[in-house]
Amino acid sequence: MELYSLTIHELQEKIKNGDVSAMQITESVFSRINAVEERVHSYIRLMKEEALAAAAKADENIKKGDLQPLTGIPVALKDIVCTKGITTTCGSHILHNFVPPYNATVVEKLSAAGAVFVGKANMDEFAMGSSTETSYFGPTHNPWDLERIPGGSSGGSATAVAADECIASIGSDTGGSIRQPAALCGVVGMKPTYGRVSRFGLIAFASSLDQIGPFTKDVEDCAIMMNVLAGYDPKESTSVKTEVPDYRRFIGGDIKGWKVGIPKEYFVEGIDPEVAAAVQKAIAVVEKCGGKIVDITLPHTQYCLAVYYIIAPAEASSNLARYDGVKYGLRTADARDLMEMYTKTRRQGFGAEVKRRIMIGTYALSAGYYDAYYGKASQVRALIRRDFDEAFQQCDVILTPTTPTPAFKIGEKTDDPLQMYLSDIFTISTNLAGIPGISVPCGFTAAGLPIGVQFLAGHFEEGKLLQIASTYEKNAAIEKRRPTL
């Protein structure tokens, strides 16, 4: 088996035993990238020179016996986290030449843990999208079927793991942007509790919803990544100062007697029959492992999409006002005065989906409409969070489909924004409530496309998610397939 196809914990064991070096692992990953990247397009920018230097340093540390949690492990970074001295574009023309003067906190943490950075992964522009088709640098292709989307907005991060172009990766999740592509690409993806992982150095889309999290090849790797990423950061105002457990101790834990909530609102007409069947099988596996299935209700679920598409664009409208051609990024060359420079820069720099959301958000925040739209949406958001609080009094975790359908074809929904937005219908509520969620592979369609099941838990209960997800993963016996490419 090739080194690039192994998990973090498998590679850790080989490094510890002296069977492989960090350089061998890194070279193996780049050989895979050379073989498949042209077809998949996981990356906006590769960092081969930096990666080989980091691998050489990792091997020196290994010889000294200095082994950190991710020593020698190749990791991809979504191109939304700032990397000092390395272009960070957010998949947008307006930031095509932006070179941050500092690292995001998660980049610092991963670096301190010994990770080798492979490159900056492709994404929907400013994380606005569900298919990685809105990237200025072109779409990413699902490695299971190159004519299909990988999900979004962290599509490049998901495909990099699924296609073995890295061992693990970092994404961001504002309305499902980790869990949805994880499901469509057949990998594990976690959105932590809001405030669990520092957002310092994450280029903002919607500040009350954004959260950074990992993509991995299995649940144990997810726990390893969360051990590195989680924790309080005084540089980030929404970071929560609460104890971080060793997440690996939850792997393989018993779930006998756990109450697993099944919300009726997530099993409605319109779900693809193969997705529904795979999730029903997942429920049966959980029952077999000792979980007790409990019917629950999340009554305000029907309002989630409407609430999200008021709050997220409103916050985006505010956050993206800073891109004006003055301080950094694109500046149009043919403006006669300051106002024309502003308008031309933004017109040329932003893509259609970003412009659409800025306009929606600006309208929702405008005088005379604020109370009717943003104010009302914020009130309903509180009710959505209350739904989850009440549900978790009846159950330990919640189980749902991650997506309503398998991956659709590239271009299939680009002319129908509402259909595109519905791709995140099962993931949006988690961000509105601020709770953690994880997507785990639960099967394949007849056409060989991956399907994911989602587990949700209360605030700061990532350990519970890892416990049930790892137990499910072990007992579900999902066929171990890899994209053929």
Residues carrying an active site annotation = 78, 153, 177
Count of Cβ atoms closer than 10 Å to residue 333 Cβ: 8
Beta bridge pairs of residue 215: 169, 189
Residue with tokens 């709050």: 311
375 vs 372: CA distance, rounded Å: 6
Q: What is the distance of C-alpha 67 from the center of its chain?
A: 27
- Report H helices in 230-375: 273-288, 304-319, 338-349, 352-365
Helix, strand counts (H, E) of the chain? 15, 11
335 vs 220: CA distance, rounded Å: 54
152 vs 472: CA distance, rounded Å: 25
Count of Cβ atoms closer than 10 Å to residue 204 Cβ: 21
Sign of CA dihedral 176, 177, 183, 184: positive
Sign of CA dihedral 313, 317, 319, 320: positive
Tokens matching residue 51:
């990666």
Q: Are 124 and 134 in contact (CB under 8 A)?
A: yes
Residue with tokens 């007849």: 446
28 vs 104: CA distance, rounded Å: 27
247 vs 263: CA distance, rounded Å: 27
Tokens matching residue 45:
């920018």
418 vs 411: CA distance, rounded Å: 14
Helix (H, G, I), strand (E, B) or coil at 44: strand
Strand residue runs (E) in 233-286: 259-263
Tokens matching residue 179:
């869990």
Residue with tokens 């800025």: 358
Count of Cβ atoms closer than 10 Å to residue 88 Cβ: 23
Q: Are 265 and 297 in contact (CB under 8 A)?
A: yes
269 vs 285: CA distance, rounded Å: 23
Crossing angle of the two packed helices 304-319 and 352-365, in degrees rounded to 10: 100
